[in-house]
Amino acid sequence: MAKKKLVTIPSRYVRDDQDRSIASSNNIQVPVVDMQRLINASDHDSMNLELQKLHFAAKEWGFFQLINHGVNCSVVEKMRDETKKFFDLPLEEKNKFEQSPGDTDGFGQLFVVSEEQKLDWGDLFYLKISPPHLRMPIFSKLYLSLRETIEEYSEEVKELSMKVLKELGKAVGIEEEEVKSVFEEGMQSMRMNYYPPCPQPELVMGVCPHSDACALTILLQVNQTEGLQIRKDGIWIPILPLPNAFIVNVGDAFEIFTNGIYKSIEHRSVVSSEKERISVATFQSARLDGELGPANSLISAHNPPLFKKMGVTEYFRGYFTRELVGKSHVDTMRITTTEDDLKNVN
């Protein structure tokens, strides 16, 4: 669909079921966290202050912008350039990386589970990156400049994600070893999003409301264009991306791991009539041969688990075989207390 000059919107893209109202003021913005302060052990006071800020951001917002993140600027620039170049390729070139039916990796659309399902106004390119044995054949078909850039960028982002996850763990009292054991060799994947301008943006959605299945998402706004909105207390808030910052959000797996202290937040992206928009989301998840459930360090008689424990592979199977609708997936892991359970307690 990218780059085609359409005048009317094909009906499969029309989303008349969406509430499009947004917060009335631009003054409400997600918190900004400074990574350098967070890890600068020589200044304990400002480190603790920043940890409190991070805790507040993850607990109350599930989203924040991360500045001084330490990822090499030239690597980020290369990632921006390569992503733009990829989506600028002629369609037949991009189609060489097309998703095969039933597969999530490749160029196309995600989560299309039926012929009738509505479509998002955007193209995407999804790749599993790490550990390397998860890479699909498409990965080795990437031309050199794109593959090298993705490898370099994702390696740095993985390090950053682990640092942030450990800090978040610290803020709620989860031992670092436990964070590492679940997430360090975890699956890392990447979704490059391209949203072309749309003649009637009020009829479509770039990405419909969803939460991310992973533990942590590091989002790069490639061309600094607005469009991402997050749902806080029922109100959609547009995010104004800061230059040189990443937008970071808590995913479903970390909501489960923190036993609900941090929550994954629904977000969506809207499109514009004039400008294209490009973003790169890098997802850090749990290791596939492990289990996902509330962290042992948090659970006690006073703090019973709110979520079931489940094999990580099974957890993802559930996510990818459903249409992406809000936070429906994390709800399937919730332990529901029935009246019978309550009778047993009393």
Ligand X SMILES: O=C(O)CCC(=O)C(=O)O
CB of 248 to ligand X, least distance (A): 12
Binding mask 224-253 for ligand X (x = CB under 6 A): ----x-------------------------
Residue 53 interacting partner from ligand X, Fe ion, none (CB closer than 5 to 8 Å by kind):
none
Query: Per rule CB under 6 A, is residue 193 in the interface with ligand X?
Result: yes
- Toward ligand X, which CB reaches closer, 193 or 258? 193
191 binds ligand X (CB under 6 A): yes
List the one residue from 99, 259, 279, 285 that touches ligand X (CB under 6 A). 279
Q: Which residue, 170 or 232, is less far from Fe ion as judged by CB?
A: 232
Q: Given the complex with ligand X, which of 38 and 220 has the nearer CB atom?
A: 220
- CB-based burial label for 165 (10 Å; 0-12, 13-18, 19+): buried
Check binding of 269 to ligand X (CB under 6 A).
Answer: yes
Q: Which of 120, 167 has the CB closer to Fe ion?
A: 120
219 SS3 class? strand
Residues pairing with 126 in the sheet = 106, 191
The dihedral formed by the CA atoms of 104, 110, 114 and 118, expressed in degrees to the nearest 10: -170
Find which of ligand X, Fe ion, none residue 66 binds, CB within 5 to 8 Å per kind. Answer: none
Residue 198 sits in the site that holds ligand X (CB under 6 A): no
3-class state of residue 79 by DSSP: helix
For the chain, the distance separating the N- and C-terminal CA atoms, rounded to the nearest angstrom, is 59
Instruction: Using CB under 6 A, pick the residue from 54, 164, 207, 286 that binds ligand X.
Output: 207
- Per-residue b or e along 131-147, where b marks 16 or more CB atoms closer than 10 Å to that residue's CB: eeeeebebbeebeeebe
Residues whose CB falls within 8 Å of the CB of residue 254, separated by 6 or more in sequence, listed in order = 165, 168, 214, 215, 216, 262, 264
- The residues binding Fe ion (CB under 5 A) are 212
Residue environment code for 230-254, b if the CB has 16+ CB neighbours within 10 A, otherwise e: bbbeeebbbbebbeebbbbbbbbbb
Burial of 288 (0-12, 13-18, 19+ CB in 10 A): middle
Give the type of residue at 177.
Answer: E
CB-based contact 244:67 (threshold 8 Å): yes
State yes or no: residue 281 binds ligand X (CB under 6 A). yes
Residues 6+ apart with CB under 8 A from 221: 228, 241, 247, 279
Does 266 sit near ligand X (CB under 6 A)? no
Q: Are 235 and 248 in contact (CB under 8 A)?
A: no
List binders of ligand X among 316-345 (CB under 6 A): none
Rank residues 158 and 268 by Cβ distance to ligand X and give the closer one. 268
Q: Which does 191 bind (CB under 5 to 8 A by kind): Fe ion, ligand X, none?
A: ligand X
Which one among 142, 146, 157, 219 touches ligand X, defined by CB under 6 A? 219
Among 212, 252, 266, 276, binds ligand X (CB under 6 A): 212
Q: Which is nearer to ligand X, 120 or 156 (CB)?
A: 120
According to DSSP, the residues that pair with 217 across neighbouring strands are 249, 283
> Which residue, 110 or 299, has its beta carbon nearer to ligand X?
110
**Residue 80, contacted partner among Fe ion, ligand X, none, CB below 5-8 A by kind:** none
- Least distance from ligand X to the Cβ atom of residue 326, Å: 13
* Residue among 219 and 330 whose Cβ is closer to ligand X: 219
> Which spans of this chain sit near ligand X (rule: CB under 6 A)?
191, 193, 207, 212, 219, 228, 267, 269, 279, 281
